[in-house]
Amino acid sequence: MRHLIDILDLSTQELDQIIAKANDIIDNPGEYSEKCHGKKLATLFFEPSTRTRLSFEAAMYELGGNVLGFSEAKSSSSAKGESVADTASVLSFYADIMAMRHPKEGAPLVAAMNSTVPVINAGDGGHNHPTQTLTDLLTINREKGRFDNLTVGFCGDLKFGRTVHSLIMALTRYANNKIVLISPMELRLPSYIKDTLDKLNIEYIESESLEAVMPELDILYMTRVQRERFFNEEDYLRLKDSYILNPEKLTTAKEDLRIMHPLPRVNEISTAVDKDPRACYFRQAMYGKYVRMSLILYLLGIE
């Protein structure tokens, strides 16, 4: 039995296989509409979500399966003090696979250790978000046609942004990618991830200025400042509008740049950018459903 807790739980070959299957699902949705007949997905969401939870649910329905779960901690027994371990062992009796989002780093790993069915990490605190990374990889595959030789800029909250952490780790699997880290000093990428980049000899630079690096980027991955992870509101208010992407800032960008964002957007991309053909964050959200269909099939061992 396999779980997906960290994106690197999947080999490069498995990543490529899951992306290829997602592309096939996009091309031939009818062939997949009964693949999960009789199967149940549990969505255990202890933190707010729109795209991740609902794309998981849509994915399972489009595979002919069913869904059960909860969308906030207060409607689950965790409000009574139940541990993640106990919730996971009980849910194993009710579902064939589960996706868990939790504010505590490591909670889905604890669930996996106590579950007899596959557990998917749907975001754990400021740590990891591997299924967003699968979504991002499918987007990069469809928009750029390759996973190597890319200069990828990550802009915004690189400290708490779990989608950033997981995508950077995935990009280390492919050759000649250059990582450009754009953030205020206080929101820089955690040093444990930079240490890994150093060990793997992956080229990266840090910049406080988006304008300074814009011309070299193939992909610009914008992120929201993660208000819920801040210790005080004043820091959040001071940092929240550090970067606001607008059409003027894009004048020096490559013509084939792709602008990504895991969403939700707050202020960091002006809505005037939405009609720029280089903006692909809404397509990215659409791909999330297909890649989760592919992942569910993979973890359930369904051909």
Which residues are near ligand NCD by CB under 6 A? Answer: 51-52, 123, 129, 132, 162-163, 224, 262-264
> HEC string of 87-116?
HHHHHHHHCCEEEEEECCCCHHHHHHHCCC
Render 174-217 in DSSP notation, one character per residue.
STT-EEEEE--GGGPPPHHHHHHHHHTT-EEEEES-HHHHGGG-
Residue 244 CB neighbour total at 10 angstroms: 15
Output 198 or 228, the one with its CB closest to ligand NCD: 228
Using CB positions, name the residue nearest to ligand NCD.
262
Cβ at position 294, least distance to ligand NCD in Å: 17
Q: How far is CA 302 from CA 32, 34, 39, 106, in A?
A: 10, 11, 11, 28
Output 163 or 242, the one with its CB closest to ligand NCD: 163
223, 247 Cβ separation under 8 angstroms = no
Cβ at position 83, least distance to ligand NCD in Å: 23
The rounded distance, in Å, linking the Cα atoms of 272 and 274 is 5
Cβ at position 32, least distance to ligand NCD in Å: 23
Cβ at position 249, least distance to ligand NCD in Å: 20
Query: Would you name the residues annotated as active-site residues?
Result: 51-52, 80, 101, 129
The rounded distance, in Å, linking the Cα atoms of 232 and 14 is 41
Cβ at position 158, least distance to ligand NCD in Å: 12
Output 92 or 111, the one with its CB closest to ligand NCD: 111
SS3 of 142, please? helix
Which residue type, as a one-letter code, is found at position 280? C
Output 39 or 127, the one with its CB closest to ligand NCD: 127
Output 263 or 297, the one with its CB closest to ligand NCD: 263
For 236, the token pair is 């959040």
